[in-house]
Structure 1
Amino acid sequence: MIPKIDQDQVKLLQNKLASAKNILITAHHRPDGDAIGSSLALMHYLKAKGHNCNVMVPDPFPSFLDWLEGTNEVIIYQDDEDAAEKMLRSADLIFCLDYNEPSRVFKMRRSLEESTATKVMIDHHLEPADFCDINFSYNSACSTAEIVYYLIKSMDDVNLIDKKIGEALYTGIMTDTGSFRYESMTADTHEVIAQLLRNGVVNHKVHENVYNDSSEDRTRLIGFATTERLVVLHDKNVAYMWLTKKDLERFNYQPGDTEGIVNIPLAIRGIKLSALFTEGNDIIKISFRSVGDISVQDLASKYFNGGGHKNAAGGRSTLSMDETKTKFEEIIKNLKGL
């Protein structure tokens, strides 16, 4: 459930849309199902209203999202930075979807902040930064896709939600709620899903396209992570896994291959908090998940330069993998409530 969409903000957006010539929809680094789903849904909606708009993300998205209509139109900033920069400079209206802090778009950050375009935030994360002119920021929403749905509804355009928009919204909600099982799911969200089904979405097809599209390498990577890289801290009800660059190279890593791995240890009886440490270039990327009242958002923001939601958050570390794991275990030893 999210608060009623702010109609004053809706009016501001409608006024800007009336004169906008070049609309750009942006999403965060390492875009996931919600980032891509909400962005494509908004793009299709705006095009249905007669607007010229494009979607841009900093880097590639997982291949299990390729089936969504419009993914072939998504501009990958890192693939052609010069052309992407021109598009950023020419935009007069920029949507910022599924992120609430400009650092989340990495190399696109400088151009985003320097742009004189009107910026519109649509997001559901905690503690939004003050960098947008129009804001639809509701941390009680289960996903950014859910907010996009309510925004379309607030403009009396639910009838414009066709199958391609519905599939994109459904994908965003489904992937950001662990297939509708997280606490963020509410009766109202199930009503949104029901409306999408009425508008033509075939639910089992979406599930099959997203979750039954793993490569053999990814399946073997998951097996390796759970058998060779799983550490269980039984006395603290915590488990974590770690993957080095060599591990990723061994299994021919592709963007999205580690998606969902962090959730696996939560299936172990008694485990309340799970973490995944993934080695990148000069950085350790961290994913956290928890159940109940344990806030991994606090853990991520206080110790690992990150943030997110109470039960799902991310962070990063500039220490080595071994140093990062040691730091994590020391923090867990002193963490109360586990």
Structure 2
Amino acid sequence: MTIQDIQTVKDLLAEQPVISIIPHKNPDGDAVGSCLGLYHYLKQLGCNATVVAPNDFPNFLKWMPAATDILIYDNEPEKATAQIEASTLIFTLDFNSLKRADTLTPLLEASVATFVMIDHHEAPEEYAKVTFSQPEASSTCEMVYVFIEAMGGALQIGAEIATCLYTGIMTDTGNFKYQSTHSNTYRVAAALIDRGANNSEINGKVYDTNSFDRLQLLSASLQNMVFLKEYHAAYITLTAEELQRFNFRKGDTEGFVNYGLTIEGSKLAAIFIQEGNFVKISLRSKGNVDVNMLAREHFKGGGHINAAGGRYDGTIEQAVALFREVIPAFLSQYI
């Protein structure tokens, strides 16, 4: 974040633009938290801002301040389309390729608005006038905090902004346990607590509000787990039938993949979830095992060194077969 970039954003906001704030498809805690944190800040500046999401987000995030203000394309496509078409300034948060916006991608690609990107994923595309890219950051929420500070807005961070940003940092660091959690992450989290984020309450709302069906689904996923001891890798499968049996709701499988990493000796974990005619894949790892590379090379995805995702167009059996085929050579680099 250069002084010139910050001044450019200030000049853009001085033009009183119509602003849209966009998260990626299937918004997680960091995407929702960063968008809402920025939304509250821009509202305090008197800006005309709206968060527009491609699709819905998990119920365990819907308590967040102003979450009900988010315009969801899947629910109101005409209204969301009109909002983006009217926008003269668009912030894209927690993604750096317009393809990650899914149903919103054609609208964003056709837009004549000025773009500002704030994101912590690797290899950003060059579509924004101002790009804040910091792959080493714990989360986009941490970056939004730094952005607001650089804009001179630190004193404007109250309980609403602090709550949104703390939630995103907490979820994207796995409750502050992932390797991406640096000393500055704790300093930012402490500052947000000082500004009104109730860390205990936030933790409870995100992690301690399970439905009985979700716990049953977790039980089924653990029964399906396979541990490839010789390769230090574990994977979980969940079929469409299993999701239906346990009344799956968006966000119910959040964190399931991490159980594979708790096995002694495990260095890589994956979960394969059948969604229609494709398989959604989440990958997690320890140390220097680069699942971002694995996702990019074999599963049309990407992410971070220790956390990535992708997809496979086909059946869950085919996706697992490919995983088992490529894992020996992939992990031989690290073991």
TM-score range for the pair, normalised by the shorter chain length: over 0.9
Deviation at 1:322, TM superposition (A): 0.7
Deviation at 1:305, TM superposition (A): 0.7
Q: Pick the aligned partner of 1:168 from 164, 171, 174.
A: 164
Aligned counterparts of 1:74 and 1:284: Cα–Cα separation in 2: 28
Deviation at 1:159, TM superposition (A): 0.6
Q: Pick the aligned partner of 1:287 from 282, 290, 308.
A: 282
Identity %: 40
Deviation at 1:200, TM superposition (A): 1.5
Q: Is residue 196 of structure 2 the alignment partner of residue 200 of structure 1?
A: yes
| Pairing of 1:116-135 with structure 2 (within 5 A) | 116-135=112-131
* Structure-2 residue corresponding to 1:185: 181
* Structure-2 residue corresponding to 1:323: 318
Question: Any stretches of 5+ residues in structure 1 without a counterpart?
Answer: none
Aligned counterparts of 2:262 and 2:18: Cα–Cα separation in 1: 46
* Structure-1 residue corresponding to 2:144: 148
Deviation at 1:265, TM superposition (A): 1.1
Aligned counterparts of 2:25 and 2:217: Cα–Cα separation in 1: 22
Q: Pick the aligned partner of 2:327 from 322, 328, 332.
A: 332
Change (3 A) 1:20 1:283: farther
Deviation at 1:270, TM superposition (A): 0.5
Aligned counterparts of 2:17 and 2:92: Cα–Cα separation in 1: 17
Spell out, residue by residue over 1:305-324, the C-alpha distance to the aligned partner (whole angstroms, 9 max, x if none): 11000000001111211111
* Structure-2 residue corresponding to 1:312: 307
Q: Is residue 88 of structure 2 the alignment partner of residue 88 of structure 1?
A: no
Q: Is the 8 A contact 1:25 1:54 kept in 2?
A: yes
Aligned counterparts of 2:281 and 2:129: Cα–Cα separation in 1: 31
**TM-score where L is the length of structure 1:** 0.97
Q: Pick the aligned partner of 2:235 from 221, 236, 240.
A: 240
- The residue type equivalent to 1:303 in the other structure is H
- The residue type equivalent to 2:264 in the other structure is R
Q: Pick the aligned partner of 1:265 from 260, 282, 306.
A: 260
Aligned counterparts of 1:135 and 1:281: Cα–Cα separation in 2: 35
Aligned counterparts of 1:189 and 1:257: Cα–Cα separation in 2: 27
State the number of aligned residues: 333
Deviation at 1:281, TM superposition (A): 2.1
**TM-score where L is the length of structure 2:** 0.98
Deviation at 1:272, TM superposition (A): 0.6
Deviation at 1:7, TM superposition (A): 1.6
| Pairing of 1:5-44 with structure 2 (within 5 A) | 5-44=1-40
- The residue type equivalent to 2:323 in the other structure is F
- The residue type equivalent to 1:83 in the other structure is K
Q: Is the 8 A contact 1:20 1:92 kept in 2?
A: no
Q: Pick the aligned partner of 2:60 from 32, 46, 64.
A: 64
Aligned counterparts of 2:328 and 2:198: Cα–Cα separation in 1: 46
* Structure-2 residue corresponding to 1:210: 206
Q: Pick the aligned partner of 2:100 from 104, 111, 123.
A: 104
Question: Any stretches of 5+ residues in structure 2 without a counterpart?
Answer: none
| SS state at 2:74 partner | helix
